[in-house]
């Protein structure tokens, strides 16, 4: 039959396949058995052959290197025993900060550098002495005719003493016609009264009613020994963002800037220049040295755009030191005087002259004794100009501001030589300075 060879092939092929597979299995089993019982072919001495079981040898090769700790002779010891005998962990690296610590209630970080910690600790200690000053003014609505209040200006200030005196810039409060508000560090808002102002120094002193134990005055430093490159810090309220800290250096010393006194156009001298960021709202805030002492009062910036451009100015602490006590006690700066009043800078500009035009003479003052003449109107209503003071002790006077600065360098009772012009002729007179 034609289909018998096909059936025979179907029977023989599986048998042959099974025979081949079975033969391969037995051959492989035999090779494995002979390999396990055969001697190694290593020519090294028998002592160099590791006769331990494979698993033990593998574990030994995975053990820590011998330079960490020598393994015990008995490898059957528990792993915990070797761990217990391990040396204790090393302490903090040499030089790690351990003496400086932050206030744990404010920050628990200890991985900070010495300079960072010093700055943070200083801010935590002194920021409570910095306040936010807001000037309030009134205006009438054009349509409703109602009078409403608005913010005429804002800036910073700082606590001067435990009696509630706050120091700020004069220009911060100059527009206040309806009151001044002071926001303390604890966010309490207090009404403030003006104690004294010095427009020619751009300084003002306010007073608030606050619990004395809560007031922390800033330590007062010096400005006569400052150096360019010295680190400084400024705390204030730029753009109304309270309790803002910026840092920088002293960029220059001995700068001169105009004051807020439009009447005398007096300049402020020995001003500190800094690159610490000072923006609108920082005015009146403290400039501190790296020890946290007050070395200046932030007052102005030089910028083409009106925002911070890297040049800020601060009134020196040595000026603040003598001006503020006068403002607290007298309400204004106490200077020795010549016994006369004078016109402001507008007269110099209108009449185009250099010097100080005498306006009125105190009949009991030293100027009257030296026969200085005042300005007056005659019977026909014409103005008769008085004397023009042009120098004191040979130091030229061009504006009323120059006169103020010269008098600041003298004391009450000093004798000075006053040079003045009358009818286009120059005269001199000896005058003893008296209290203004």
Q: Between β-strands 231-236 and 179-183, what pairing exists: parallel, antiparallel or unpaired?
A: unpaired
- Contact criterion met (CB below 8 Å) for 166 and 332: no
pLDDT digits (tens, 9 = 90+) for 5-59: 555 656 666 777 777 677 766 666 554 444 444 444 443 333 443 434 433 444 4
Q: Tokens for 25?
A: 């299995």
For the entire predicted model, the pTM comes to 0.66
3-class SS at 234?
strand
Half-sphere exposure for 353 (CA within 13 Å, toward CB): 18
pLDDT for residue 180:
94
Q: How far apart are CA 313 and CA 315, in angstroms?
A: 7
Kindly give the parts of the chain with pLDDT less than 70. Answer: 1-13, 20, 24-110, 212, 262-265, 307
Active-site residue numbers? 171, 202, 283
Q: Tokens for 153?
A: 């200006």
- Contact criterion met (CB below 8 Å) for 316 and 324: no
What residues contact 413, with CB distance under 8 A and at least 6 apart? 336, 432, 433, 434
Would residue 432 be called left, alpha or beta, if left means φ above 0 and alpha means ψ between -120 and 50 degrees? Answer: beta
Q: How far apart are CA 162 and CA 212, in angstroms?
A: 5
How many C-beta atoms surround the C-beta of residue 321 within 10 A? 14
pLDDT for residue 10:
64
pLDDT for residue 186:
87
Q: How far apart are CA 139 and CA 143, in angstroms?
A: 12
pLDDT for residue 247:
92
Q: Do domains 128-330 and 336-435 have the same CATH topology?
A: no
According to the CATH classification, is domain 128-330 in 3.40.50.300? Answer: no
> For the stretch 36-57, what's the b/e string if a residue is b when 16 or more beta carbons lie within 10 angstroms of its beta carbon?
eeeeeeeeeeeeeeeeeeeeee
Q: What ranges do the domains of the chain cover? A: 128-330, 336-435
Alpha helix ranges (H) inside 145-291: 170-173
DSSP one-letter string for 120-145: HHHHHHHGGGEEEEEEEEEEE-TTT-
pLDDT digits (tens, 9 = 90+) for 351-381: 999 999 999 999 999 999 999 999 999 999 9
Would residue 318 be called left, alpha or beta, if left means φ above 0 and alpha means ψ between -120 and 50 degrees? Answer: alpha
CATH architecture of 336-435: Roll (2.30)
Phi first, then psi: give them for residue 412, nearest 5 degrees: -60, 130
pLDDT for residue 280:
86
DSSP one-letter string for 175-206: T-SSEEEEE-TTS-EEEEEEEEEEGGGTEEEE
pLDDT for residue 146:
87
pLDDT for residue 196:
95
């Amino acid at each position: 039959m034609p289909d018998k060879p096909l059936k025979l092939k179907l029977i023989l092929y599986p048998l042959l396949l099974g025979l081949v597979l079975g033969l391969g299995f037995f051959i492989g089993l035999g090779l494995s058995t002979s390999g396990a019982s055969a001697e190694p072919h290593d020519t090294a001495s028998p002592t160099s052959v590791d006769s331990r079981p494979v698993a033990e040898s593998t574990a030994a090769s995975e053990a820590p290197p011998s330079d960490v700790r020598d393994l015990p002779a008995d490898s059957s010891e528990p792993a915990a025993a070797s761990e217990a005998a391990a040396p204790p962990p090393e302490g903090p690296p040499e030089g790690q900060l351990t003496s400086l610590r932050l206030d744990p209630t404010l920050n628990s970080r200890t991985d900070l550098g010495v300079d960072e910690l010093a700055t943070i600790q200083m801010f935590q200690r002194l920021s409570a002495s910095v306040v936010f000053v807001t000037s309030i003014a009134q205006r009438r609505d054009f349509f409703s005719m109602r009078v409403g209040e608005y913010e005429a200006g804002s800036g910073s200030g700082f606590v001067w003493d435990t009696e509630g005196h706050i120091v700020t810039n004069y220009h911060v409060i100059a527009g206040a016609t309806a009151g001044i508000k002071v926001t303390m560090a604890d966010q309490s808002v207090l009404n403030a009264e003006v104690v004294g102002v010095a427009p020619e120094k751009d300084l003002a002193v306010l007073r608030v009613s606050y619990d004395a134990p809560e007031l922390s005055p800033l330590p007062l430093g010096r400005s006569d020994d400052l150096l360019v490159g010295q680190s400084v810090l400024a705390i204030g309220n730029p753009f109304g963002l309270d309790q803002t800290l910026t840092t920088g250096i002293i960029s220059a010393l001995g700068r001169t800037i105009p004051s807020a006194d439009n009447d005398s156009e007096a300049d402020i001298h020995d001003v500190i220049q800094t690159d610490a960021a000072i923006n609108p709202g920082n005015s009146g805030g403290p400039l501190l040295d790296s020890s946290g002492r007050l070395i200046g009062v932030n007052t102005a910036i030089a910028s083409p755009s009106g925002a911070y451009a890297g040049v800020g100015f601060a009134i020196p602490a040595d000026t603040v030191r003598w001006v503020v006590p006068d403002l607290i006690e007298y309400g204004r700066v106490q200077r020795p005087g010549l016994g006369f009043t004078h016109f402001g800078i507008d007269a110099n500009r209108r009449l185009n002259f250099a010097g100080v035009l005498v306006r009125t003479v105190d009949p009991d003052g030293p100027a009257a004794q030296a026969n200085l003449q005042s300005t007056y109107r005659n019977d026909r209503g014409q103005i008769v100009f008085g004397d023009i003071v042009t120098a004191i002790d040979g130091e030229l006077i061009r504006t009323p501001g120059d006169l103020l600065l010269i008098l600041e360098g003298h004391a009450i009772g000093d004798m000075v030589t006053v040079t003045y012009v009358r009818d286009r002729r120059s005269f001199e007179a000896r005058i003893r300075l008296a209290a203004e």
